[in-house]
Amino acid sequence: MSPSLGDYLFVSGLLFAIGLAGVLLRRNILIIFMCLELMLNAANLSLVAFSRYNLTDLGLPNFNAQVFVFFIITVAAAEVAVGLAIIVALYRARRTTHVEDLNRMKF
């Protein structure tokens, strides 16, 4: 007995919802950044699930989705590096990582 595609999609949707909750609820910019990673990983899980449940004629998973996940991981790594550099620069300028203290552009 193996889990159905819907089980994987549901778990991945729940992980996405947890990431969304973190982005909406937490006020520390580092935690918000971690929750963004959580949401990206939820997307990866659903892509890999689609790849496994959509076998090709050769009896293999559809590897296009796995290559797509590979690209997402690469771009996410670059994003983390740049984002953390921006956060460090922000901390140097303002001495805070709390998003409610960063209200210079607020109307």
Partner 1 sequence: MLLALFWIFAALMLVFGLGVVFFRSPVSSAMSLVMSFVALSALFVTLNAYFIGVIQVLVYAGAVMVLFLFIIMLLDLRAEERRAWNLAAVAGGAAVVLGFVGLLFRVLQSSPIYKMGRAEIWNTHLNDVRQVGFTLFSKFNLPFQIVGVLLLVATIGVVILSRKELK
State yes or no: residue 37 binds partner 1 (CB under 8 A).
yes
Per CB under 8 A, contacts with partner 1 among 8-27 are 8-11, 13-15, 17-22, 24-27
Find the shortest distance in angstroms from Cβ 104 to partner 1. 16
- Token readout for 80 is 């983390």
Of 49, 52, 65, nearest to 8 by C-alpha is 49
Query: Measured between alpha carbons, how far is 48 from 33 in angstroms, rounded to an integer?
Result: 23
Tell me the site size for partner 1, rule CB under 8 A. Answer: 71
Per CB under 8 A, contacts with partner 1 among 42-101 are 44-45, 48-49, 51-53, 55, 58-61, 63-64, 66-67, 69-71, 73-82, 84-89, 91, 97-98
- Token readout for 27 is 């006020």
Q: Cβ(38)–Cβ(26) under 8 Å?
A: no
Find the shortest distance in angstroms from Cβ 56 to partner 1. 9
E-strand ranges in the chain read: none
